[in-house]
Structure 1
Amino acid sequence: MIPGLILLAIASLIGYTAKDALLPAKDVRVIPVVLKAGVETGATSAVQAPGWVEADPYPVSVSALADGIVTEVLALEGQMINVGDVVARMIDDDAKLALARAEATSLEKRASLKAATANWDNPIERTRAVANSEAMVAETKADLEKLHADVAVEVARLVSMKLEAERTAESFKTRASSEIETVRSQQSYEAQKAVVDATKARRPVFEAQLAQRNAELTAANENLRLRIDEAKALAEAQAQLALATAARDEAALRLSRMEVRSPASGIVMQRLAAPGDKLVMNMDDPHSAHVVRLYDPSKLQVRVDIPVADAAKIGVGQDARIVVAVAPDRTFDGKVTRIVNEADIQKNTLQVKVAISNPSADLKPEMLARVRIVTGGATTRSTGDQTVFAPLDLIQRNGGEATVWVVDPRRNVAVHKSIVLGETQQEGWIAVMSGLSPGDQLIAEEAENLTDGQRIRVVGEVSTPNLKRNGNDHGPH
């Protein structure tokens, strides 16, 4: 039994090691790369560094605008949110009661203003006071007129009594009247004099009274014109109504803020609240009122950690090429937009922001990226080192990326490789600065529909025009 198991294990091992040979291989024809020494090459200065995708220029935090307890969260990670969408709701019972109280107070103050306005428009008491004062003035003037008549009557009576007293006195001398009649007549005269004096003495009193009542009439008219108390009451009622209206609007605003709405459109990057959480404003924690964080998928950038030694080569506006781990076969164009003016002493790097020109929907914040920043124009140099050349016709271009199909002779498979081209071209060939090595064979025919890692079998080389070579150059013959 044991020998059988040993034979089975040996057969399995042989089958596993020979599985590649048993798989069907695609026949291809190739062209070897060419080496040439002492050529003029167009080298482009560049700096490469790792980075992380992030929102450009920063994520947007959707915050509650009032304190409250969360009852419902309507936005989850990865969800698209539009401006004004409700992302969360909070308990609103207290806010509803506060609004009802504020509305009742507003109605009360509106009624007070209506009454104050009516008092202002219809100054009944002020008008009555003026009318009363006018009546009192008229009454006093009538009393003065009557007093004048009374004085005239009493003076006339005094004159009559004086004549009677004088006649009686003369008659007494002739014994025509008695002494008693004479004395009585004289006393009546003296009494009438006192009446006249008393009647005349009433004039200053009436005049003073008239002056007082004229003053009261003037004051009543002025009060009617100014209406100070009514104006104050009207202004206070208007102010009280304004305060009540503001309190009502504030209560309505707080009630509306029990629904947390997004101020911007974007994809939810992070959810920061859940039902039962308390959202509090004006706290030391900057996220105490935040519900979610958003990013705009059409505006992404890469924060790149540039070594301090290369920082002097970086400038705003420089072009960049970006490769993200999620799509290693695709290159994104970018541009340096900002340089953070503080180095990281721990990593000995300087942070640079590179905006992605046309970000893909596959890109997400915090994805790892590799950025190549073009720090200078092409420089032409003559070198004695050997330079690899490849046929232009075999180079595939996708945006700013150049690729070729290369034979892996160890595994006999096709490999899709990215290369960096120079600027020197000769007779249909172009200098390759990196990505190819001497001896590499490029798949020239039957390259259509190849997949990376597919088994192939080289059946021959394709004849191409020879590149003029110097000395020890190697290439197809």
Structure 2
Amino acid sequence: MSATSLSHPGTIVPVNFRAPLPLLPMNLEKITSLKESTQNSNSSRSRRLPAVLLPVGLLIAFVAVFGLMFGSRLLPATEVTTASVIALRLNPDQSTNQKPGNKVESDRTTVLFQSSGWIEPDPYIINVPALINGVVDEVFTLEGQHVEKGDTLATLIDDDALLDVEHATKAIATLDAMKIAHCAQLPVLNAEMQGVQKQIEAARALHAELLDAATRLASVPSGSVSALAVRQAQLKVDAQKAVIDEATANLAGVIAKINKVNLEKISVNAEISAAQTELARKNLALERTIIRSPINGIVLHLHAEPGKKRMLTSDDPKSANIVELYDPEKLQARIDVPLSEAASLQIGQAVSITTDLLPDTRFAGEVTRIMGEADLQRNTLQAKVRLHEPDTRLRPEMLVRAAFHPSGGSGNTAAQKGGTAQRLTLFVPANSLFERSQESARVWSADRGRARLRTLILGPEKREGYIQVIEGLKPGDQVVLPPFDGLKENQRIKSSPSR
């Protein structure tokens, strides 16, 4: 169907109109079929809904199973401190009551075992610090140099210290002058006091004379002396009494001045004493700018050089050190003994020391200390061996080889022969035990990151904080040290070896 529309005068524009769609006839069957198709589409959507929930359900189930199996590993582990079970070989007749320092007979012809170590000062390094903060001015020694006791090792810049001493000295001189000025008043005041005392004495004498005269006039019969004369005599007595009172007051004032000067003298003396103490402190600081050697020894490490600052109050433990010294006549060897051989260690045991520096020299020594804790990583027990006559050419940190000799006694004879007389014995730290009775105790052990409760049967042997275990542990086990009150069986733990 077409029509025309007038947009401008004289112009005809054609316009198209779309014909309406024809209406389809609707009956009851068509309406019913349309309703059934709608219900079928809704039912298909409801059937597709479980298919969406299936992956979600599987994911939830997987998370639940994972949580049950590995949930404890996701929680933070409890940090604990552990110590190793030590295994020692003991001789049946070896005494457990031997005390350190007891002399034992030695056999240096037989070697029980050998182990390596290194030289170190006995018993420790001597640190020589600067006792005041300052800057190094001069250094008079080098590493490896031998120094005598009292030798100057280094000096600090002392300009400030010198000025402090000068200032403190002048302060004392000022106080001394003040004291002299105060004390110079004392002779004048003492003379003034004596003059006032004499005035009082003279006034009192005149007062007594006037009082006597007035008393005489007053006692004369009436009419012999005029009343005016009697009155004048009494007035003179009163006036002289006033003079005495005035002089007495002047005397009190002079005494107060003398007491004031004496108190000021005491105060100045106290200030002088404090100034003298301060001067002594400044002199000490000046003296401490010179660092001297406290022993005869050798410089191990030099920490100072000109212009370097030395701080006594710093957090760095070596910030004030000038040098580290050691006595070459007092050396020891630090030997790491394998735990498999540690059973043969004994205080006072003879040891022979050799080093590559002097391969033809064998140094005699003896075990002075056995450390109370084993090395977890190296599986060793450390022993300190004192050298009886060390060579001056030996230096700390030199590697050495130590041969341990048996001590006298039948028990060591069995050890030399390697017979079955020796027995392997386990020891645990005494502080790791709890619920302890005479023959049993309980202990927490660390087993693959888990806490395990063990019941132990204890033996009679005790050594330096360790107790013998007969049953319940094996060599190499780790036991938990206190605190362990909150531990539970199979609890996840994080072990750190004790230091």
Corresponding residue number in structure 2 for 1:342: 373
Letter in 2 for 1:325: D
CA distance in 2, matches of 1:291, 1:66: 12
Question: Residues 96 and 344 (structure 1 numbering): CA distance in 2 closer, same or farther, change over 3 Å?
Answer: same
CA shift in 2, pair 1:43/1:147, >3 Å:
closer
Q: 1:111 to 1:217 in 2, by over 3 A?
A: closer
Residues 383, 333 of structure 1: alpha-carbon distance in 2 compared, 3 angstrom cutoff: closer
Q: Deviations over 1:338-370 (max 9, x none)?
A: 222232223222221101112123211101111
Residue 80 of structure 2 corresponds to residue 46 of structure 1 = no
Where do residues 241-256 of structure 1 align in structure 2 (5 Å cutoff)? 241-256=272-287
CA-based RMSD: 3.5
Write the letter of the residue equivalent to 1:126: N
What TM-score comes out, normalization by structure 2 length?
0.54
DSSP-derived class of the 1:88 partner: strand
**Which residue in the other structure is 2:134 paired with?**
68
SS of structure 2 residue aligned to 1:362: coil
Give the Å deviation of 1:139.
2.1
**Aligned counterpart, 1:80:** 146
Contact 1:154 1:196 in 2 (8 A): no
Unaligned runs of 5+ in 2: 1-107, 420-499
CA distance in 1, matches of 2:126, 2:418: 52
Does residue 362 (structure 1) correspond to residue 404 (structure 2)? The answer is no
Q: CA deviation at 1:105?
A: 1.4
Residues in 2 aligned to 1:267 and 1:227: alpha-carbon distance in whole angstroms: 65
2:405 aligned counterpart, secondary structure: strand
Aligned 8 A contact 1:158 1:196 in 2: no
CA distance 1:206–1:343, shift in 2 (3 Å): farther
Please give the alpha-carbon distance, in whole angstroms, between the structure 1 residues aligned to 2:130 and 2:328.
23
SS of the residue corresponding to residue 334 of structure 1 reads: strand
The residue aligned with 1:263 is 294
Paired letter, 1:75 = T
Whether the 8 Å contact between 1:46 and 1:376 is mirrored in structure 2 is: no
Judged with a 3 Å threshold, the aligned counterparts in structure 2 of structure 1 residues 79 and 232 are, in CA distance, closer, same or farther, namely same
State the shift of 1:267 in Å.
1.0
- CA distances 1:93-122 after superposition (whole Å, capped 9, x unpaired): 111111111121122223334445555xx5
Would you say 1:234 and 2:265 are equivalent positions? Answer: yes
Q: Which residue of 2 aligns with 1:136?
A: 200
* 5+ long unaligned stretches in structure 1: 1-41, 162-191, 385-477
Question: Within 5 A, what are the aligned runs for 1:5-24?
Answer: none
Does residue 126 of the first structure (1) align with residue 190 of the second (2)?
A: yes
Q: Does 1:311 align with 2:342?
A: yes
* Paired residue type of 2:119: V
TM-score normalised over the length of structure 1: 0.57
What's 1:322 paired with? 353
Task: Please list the CA deviations of residues 414-448 of structure 1 after superposition, one character each: whole Å capped at 9, or x if unmatched.
Answer: xxxxxxxxxxxxxxxxxxxxxxxxxxxxxxxxxxx
**Cα shift readout 1:174-202 (whole Å, capped 9, x = no counterpart):** xxxxxxxxxxxxxxxxxx43x25633653
**Structure-2 separation of matches of 1:331 and 1:45:** 14
Q: CA deviation at 1:91?
A: 1.4
* Aligned 8 A contact 1:69 1:90 in 2: yes
- Provide the rounded CA distance (Å) in 2 between the counterparts of 1:209 and 1:55: 91
Change in Cα spacing, 1:201 to 1:376, as seen in structure 2 (3 Å) is same
Q: Is contact 1:95–1:255 with CA below 8 Å preserved after alignment?
A: yes
Kindly state the Cα deviation for residue 253 of structure 1 after the two structures are TM-superposed: 2.1
| Distance in 2 between residues matched to 1:349 and 1:43, nearest whole Å | 25
Distance 2:294 2:122 in 1: 16
Question: Does the CA contact (< 8 Å) of 1:268 and 1:292 recur in 2?
Answer: yes
SS in 2 for 1:199: helix
| Residue 335 of structure 1: how far off its partner (Å) | 0.9
Tell me how far apart the structure 1 counterparts of residues 209 and 305 of structure 2 sit (CA, whole Å).
94
Structure 1 counterpart of 2:164, from 98, 105, 124: 98
One-letter identity of the residue aligned with 1:274: E
TM-superposition CA deviations, 1:297-346 (whole Å, max 9, x none): 12111011122343343222111011113223322111111222232223
Q: Which has the higher contact order (CA 8 A, sep 6+)?
A: 1
Q: 2:238 aligned with 1:205, yes or no?
A: yes
Query: Which stretch has the larger CA shift, 318-327 or 339-348?
Result: 339-348
Deviation at 1:216, TM superposition (A): 4.9
2:305 corresponds to: 274
Q: Which amino acid aligns with 2:289?
A: M
Could you tell me which amino acid in structure 2 is paired with residue 73 of structure 1? Answer: V
C-alpha displacement of 1:212: 3.6
Partner of 1:58: 124
Q: Is the deviation greater in 305-314 or in 56-65?
A: 305-314
Q: Determine which of 206, 213, 216 is the counterpart of 1:149.
A: 213
Whether the aligned pair in 1 keeps the contact of 2:204 and 2:244 (CA below 8 Å) is no
Partner of 2:480: none
What is the alpha-carbon distance in structure 2 between the residues aligned to residue 217 and residue 289 of structure 1? 65
Q: CA distance change for structure 1 residues 200 and 309 in 2, over 3 Å: closer, same or farther?
A: farther
- Match of residue 301 from structure 1: 332
Amino acid of the structure 1 residue aligned with 2:142: L
Partner deviation per Cα, 1:261-320 (whole Å, 9 max, x = no partner): 111121111111222211111332221110111111121110111223433432221110
Report the AA paired with residue 334 of structure 1.
G
CA distance in 1, matches of 2:340, 2:175: 72
Which residue does 2:383 correspond to in 1? 352
For the residues of structure 2 that align with 1:374 and 1:123, how far apart are their CA atoms?
Answer: 88
Secondary structure at the aligned position of 2:295 is classed as coil
SS in 2 for 1:305: strand
Q: Which amino acid aligns with 1:379?
A: T
**Partner of 2:318: helix, strand, or coil?**
coil
Cα distance in structure 2, aligned partners of 1:140 and 1:379: 113
Q: Which amino acid aligns with 1:277?
A: K
Q: Secondary structure at the match of 1:379?
A: helix
Q: What are the equivalent positions in structure 2 for 1:106-121 lying under 5 Å apart? A: 106-115=172-181
Measured in 2, the distance between the counterparts of 1:228 and 1:160 equals: 54
Distance between the aligned counterparts of 1:114 and 1:101, measured in 2?
20
Give the letter aligned to residue 263 of structure 1: P
Q: Following the alignment from structure 1 to structure 2, what is the Cα–Cα distance between the partners of residues 87 and 325? A: 32
How many residues matched? Answer: 308
1:19-53 per-residue CA deviation (whole Å, 9 max, x = no partner) reads xxxxxxxxxxxxxxxxxxxxxxx994623221110
Distance 1:151 1:346 in 2: 118
Alpha-carbon contact 1:147-1:199 (below 8 Å) kept? no
